[in-house]
Amino acid sequence: MLRKIGAVGGAVAIVLCWPFATGQIGERIYLDTVGKYENPYLTISSESYDRGYLNSDAVSRIEIKDDWKPVFDEEGLPDVWYVQHKVSHGFMGVTSTSELVLDEELRPIADKLWGEGVSPISFTTNTALTRKTDFNITMKPVSFNNEQGAKADIKAFVLEGTVDAQGAGEFRYQLPDATVTTAAQESMVMTGLEGGGKGRLDGQFWIGSQDFALKHVSFKDLVNNKSVEIDNVALGMNNVLGQADPASEQSEQQLTNTNMMTIEKIVSLDGQEYRNFNFKLAFSDLNYPAISRLGNMADDIDEQMSEQQAKEAALALDLLVAKGLKFTIEDLSLVTPKGDVKSHLNLVIAPGIARASENMAKISEKLTGDISLLLPIQLVDEDPILFEKASMMEQSGIVEKGADYYSLQMQIEGDKIILASGDQLPLAMLLMLFM
């Protein structure tokens, strides 16, 4: 039951994730906006628009795209939703208040979660003559319990922001507290969820920044008194497009993608405490036309690619590699009860590789980089598989064993690796050892 309830809330949040479904400045703008709306997960169309002098009524039809329909079907949820809008015409713009239309099957579930006759979500927009829109989406608080012991107490979720006529904007969201307990006496307690972003959606890619923070979350087995607890999670993502420069060799736009994650503390089921997890990853100098083509193809490819799709993917991959790219794990570190784990990885594929898809081994000709890894001996010795690999690599001179740590330091130059000792090994040998 709770799974279905959660799916209802998730479905509502998905279908109302962006303000373009509402009536904006008059019927013409509303119809234009709905007609031009693009989203990889859903399509929006106008069902009706009844125009009045000071007020208008509109209904939008939202349909989940084919790739996502099975997710809704498994939960017994419809893949077509309707949103009704009350539009008020002002001197300098338009105000719209929208609500999700619930059918006879979903209405009883919503009544149990949000209260009888209460609309789960309110959606308001204020649109100026320039089509700049301020929006607010509020999912009402949830209070639920049943005879089997399942219960949920979730505070209001609020998403608000601004979007302009070109689709660029910024948003913030927050969920102060949420507690869910299943009939099997398993619970989740979450506090301090918030985040936001600034930018625009360009096909498959968000160009701009997004951030997410979570103060605390715990998962508890109330019967056996065991839990996993996580404190102070922070996530960040940034996509930046470099402007094309016709005077340079790189005449096409390049994408730089950076991602970071930090966790202050993790307490595992066995009571072990881990602190200061840091992860920072970046892709840079990515040819944007090539990566966009691969992203667009991902939605159209079934489990097995057709011959034509394979050719198109190969061409996009060739272009991506030919222009060169960089991959960096700047920081991957964690403080464990057995000691500190520290690592970084830097790989560069220089431009100039033609038709890489026909011979992937060519990539090594343009490959350079470095790898660093520091692992506590106690941590390695407690894991039989890790211990076996570490011992093998120590005997081969690839890693060095100190008093407290295993250390790996190496440079990558083409098809060979250069160890800290100066010895050289084939790159293929390193790949085999890590498999």
- Rounded (5°) CA angle 418-423-425: 65
How far, in Å, CA of 324 to CA of 301, rounded? 25
How far, in Å, CA of 355 to CA of 322, rounded? 8
DSSP per residue, 289-313 = HHHHHHHHHHHH--SS--HHHHHHH
- Chain centre to alpha carbon of residue 236: 10
Cα–Cα distance list, 4 to 1, 105, 138, 153, 155 (Å): 5, 12, 20, 16, 19
DSSP per residue, 36-74 = H---SSEEEEEEEEE--SSEEEEEEEEEE-GGGHHHHHH
How far, in Å, CA of 212 to CA of 190, rounded? 14
pTM of the model: 0.82
How far, in Å, CA of 355 to CA of 310, rounded? 14
- Which is nearest to 149 in space by CA: 179, 177, 115, 184? 184
How far, in Å, CA of 364 to CA of 414, rounded? 5
Contact 240, 209 (CB under 8 A): no
Contact 44, 16 (CB under 8 A): no
For residue 167, the 8-state DSSP code is: S
HSE value, Cβ hemisphere, 13 Å, CA-based, for 52? 11
- pLDDT values of the chain reduced to their tens digit, one per residue, 435 residues: 444 444 444 444 433 333 333 333 445 555 555 555 556 667 777 778 787 767 788 888 888 887 778 877 876 777 888 888 888 876 667 788 888 888 787 788 788 888 888 888 888 888 887 778 898 989 899 888 888 888 899 999 999 999 888 888 999 999 999 999 988 889 999 999 999 999 998 877 889 999 999 999 999 998 888 899 999 999 999 999 987 555 555 568 899 999 999 999 999 998 999 999 999 999 999 999 988 888 877 766 556 677 887 888 888 888 888 889 999 999 999 999 999 999 999 999 999 888 888 887 788 888 999 999 999 999 999 999 889 989 988 888 889 999 999 999 999 998 888 988 888 888 877 766 666
Contact 27, 51 (CB under 8 A): yes
Beta-ladder partners of 38: none
How far, in Å, CA of 352 to CA of 355, rounded? 10
